[in-house]
Chains A and B, each alone.
Chain A
Amino acid sequence: MESLEQIRERLLARFPDAALTVIANPGPAGQPSLLVGSPHAASIAAFLRDDPALRLDYCSNVTGVDWPDREVVETIKRTVPPPPPAAPADPSAPPVTPKVIEEKVKRHIPGYFEVVYHLYSMALKHGPVILRTRTADRTDPASLPSLTPIWRACEFQEREVYDLFGIRFTGHPDLRRILMWDEFKDYPMRKDYVEPDDYEWEPTPHGAVLDKARRHYPAPPESR
């Protein structure tokens, strides 16, 4: 199978205004992925499925990833030019080497939601090609294009991503909660999900549980 860069080149030739980025995988697995801008996601997916050299007819895995806001500390090396000499230069003095300063710079990466598709070909028996789509930020309602019209395998899995991550898939034929019950409000797989403390008071040896229960229930009235 051709490499992801070659696939990207061919996709750019077919969809010149599409946003396509190859995301490298730093780990030893060596599975890079292709980040696709949402406006072209459905047409690119259809191209990947129908292209005779790729024929990615099988969408194996669909999942969401919640990337919260991150602060990345990067070390930047900077050379400081030496100060100009006050006195006229002494030719016998050693040349002044420029100083190298290491600076730690904090970089703020805003959070986003991501949906990952693992594509394989049953006809040509190759893969995986990993597609990703991202939202701009983590504000609700987050929405991304659905690929269920391309691969039926996405139907339940996209419903699950909607259920657990709260990403709305535009174009999904039947977007309902699938694992949680319909009346449930929150999205449990988000990183900032706080589980409700609606359990009953029970003496417990675990300090953390006890503290949480004390916070939840008001203190018993003092007996007179």
Chain B
Amino acid sequence: MTSPAAPSSFPSGLPSSPGAHVRAVHDDFHGDLLEVSMGPHHPSTHGVFRMIVTLDGERIVRLKPVFGYLHRNHEKLGEQTTYLASMPYTDRLDYLNSMTNNWAYAIAVEKLAGQAVPERAEYVRVILAELTRLLNHTCLAGFLLQDTGCSGTPLMYAFREREKILDLFESLSGSRMMCNFQRFGGCRLDPTPEWLAAVRQLVDGYGRFLDEFEALISGNEIVMARTQGTGVLTPALAISAGVTGPMLRATGVDYDLRKVDGYGVYPRFEFRVPLGAHGDTYDRYMIRILEMRESIQILRQALRDLPAGPILDPKAKNRGFRPKPGEAYGRIEGPKGEIGFYLISDGSPNPFRYRVRPPSFVNLTILEDMCLGQTVADAVIILGSIDIVLGEVDR
């Protein structure tokens, strides 16, 4: 590799010399800066997302994300409808994780109204949330490999497993992705024994899929060369920037709301919180694989201990629901990070203020910091490893 100090080995002006067609690297590596608008329609941006990248040669010196193309003012819609009517809208935030979005919203409303949840519903919620985590992390691993240029195969392997989970969601709630399943004080429907047996079967087979996937990917030399050391995030910056979820834990910060808040029945289960050491793209990939293995453990325990009983609190009032004036902030550990809902009630059937704390949106804050000094191709996989869904970023 030629060092920048000795560019003269390639006489400039020749059509065959590297970079002859790009002005930025033409004159002795001190050329003009080049501004590239990546997106909004680009397969690597996972939706309609744009990055205005300023390049010095191939290195990024400035990156400004531009989004809002899917903005529909979700929060205003929430203030114009009743509490229950917002539940199906939360499905559309992060359309991969409708079950956890539902749960976060239900937890916030239950806090606001002081509503209790029956034990069986708590277990079912944990089962659904961990299935969602499997689904999200599987998809992410597939998409991330797609972004690195590993076309097709890993993504299709991931989607094969995702379809199995979506089939389960469909047979339970009637919809693959827009599940609209949680209610204030429990769940909408009680899972049948056949459904639980199907979940058990999926959980038993999932470890084998992960083994197969990891045998192909995790030790792959090209994947390691491409992802290790790219997009390094320091723990101090991650904490200050409010980064949550697997991205935070990849930097080595031990902060998992399932342990910290202990919401639902999570304190009853034994599981570990995997932590990264380098905060690079490879760690962010690996953390998700390890979290999936822990999710399998949680699912096994939850399926084993699932108690009988009502699925919805008999005293719960979902229609004509008017909580007393007050406010509440409820949050859970979603697959992408902390998803929270902040609600202010003035005693009317509609929330006075309805706010979503979207994990993808906040995690995007440090995109520029991670990409500085990297190449454009690296920016693509760094963005992929943040794991954004534009329905949630833009709201």
Residue numbers of A with Cβ under 8 A of B are 25-29, 31, 57-61, 63, 65, 116, 118, 122, 125, 128, 130, 151-153, 155-157, 160, 164, 177-181, 188-189
Q: Are B394 and A152 in contact (CB under 8 A)?
A: no
A160: nearest chain-B partner, CB-CB: B361
Q: Which residues of B302-347 have CB atoms within 8 Å of chain A's CB atoms? A: 323-329, 331, 338, 340, 342, 344-345
Contact, CB under 8 Å: B328 / A31? yes
Interface CB pairs A-B, < 8 A, 8: A29-B326, A31-B327, A57-B240, A152-B366, A153-B362, A156-B362, A156-B365, A164-B75
Contact, CB under 8 Å: B73 / A181: no
> Which B residues, 54 to 92, have Cβ-Cβ distances below 8 Å to chain A?
67-68, 71, 73, 75-76
Known: A27-B324, A58-B242. A156 touches B361 (CB 8 A): yes
Q: Assuming the A-B contacts A118-B342, A179-B394, A181-B68, are A28 and B357 also in contact, with contact meaning beta carbons closer than 8 angstroms in the complex? A: no
The answer, yes or no, to whether B237 is at the interface (CB within 8 Å) is yes
Chain B positions within 8 Å of A, measured between CB atoms, are: 67-68, 71, 73, 75-76, 111-114, 237, 239-244, 253, 255, 260, 323-329, 331, 338, 340, 342, 344-345, 353, 355, 357, 361-362, 364-366, 394-395
Choose among A26, A125, A155, A157 the residue that contacts B326 (Cβ–Cβ < 8 A). A26
Contact: A179 with B68, CB < 8 Å?
yes
A216 → chain B closest CB, angstroms: 21
Chain A proximity of B389: nearest CB distance (Å): 15
Per the bound structure, the CA–CA distance linking A63 and B79 in Å amounts to 14
- Contact of B76 (CB < 8 Å), options: A59, A65, A160, A189: A189
Q: Are B73 and A188 in contact (CB under 8 A)?
A: yes
Chain B residues near A188: list those with CB within 8 A: 73, 76
- Interface residue SS majority, chain A: loop
Q: Are A179 and B395 in contact (CB under 8 A)?
A: yes
The one of A29, A63, A151 that contacts B328, using a Cβ cutoff of 8 Å: A29
Contact, CB under 8 Å: B329 / A61: yes
Contact A28 B114 (CB under 8 A): yes
CA distance A167 to B73 in the complex (A): 17
Distance, CA A25 to CA B112, complexed state (A): 10
Known: A151-B242, A153-B362, A179-B395. A61 touches B328 (CB 8 A): no
Q: Which residue of B lies closest to A70 (CB)?
A: B346
Q: In whole angstroms, how far apart are the Cα atoms of A155 and B362 in the complex? A: 9
Closest to A155 in B: B365
Is A60's CB under 8 angstroms from B111's CB? Answer: no
B149 vs chain A, min Cβ distance (A): 29
Contact A122 B112 (CB under 8 A): no
Contact B255 A180 (CB under 8 A): no
Question: Quick one: which of B255, B329, B361 contacts A118, CB cutoff 8 A?
Answer: B329
Residues B326 and A153 in contact, CB atoms below 8 Å apart: no
Q: Of A125, A155, A156, A189, which contacts B260 at CB under 8 A?
A: A125
A29-B260 contact, Cβ under 8 Å, with A152-B242, A179-B71:
no
Instruction: Let me know if B323 and A178 touch, CB within 8 A.
Output: no
Contact assessment for A116 and B240 in the assembled complex, using a CB-CB cutoff below 8 Å: no
**Most chain A beta-carbon neighbours within 10 Å: one of B111, B239, B260, B324:** B239
A27 touches B327 (CB 8 A): yes
Which partner residue on chain B sits nearest A28 by CB separation?
B114
- Top 8 nearest A-B pairs (CB, nearest first) are A27-B326, A153-B242, A28-B114, A29-B328, A179-B68, A152-B241, A61-B357, A63-B355
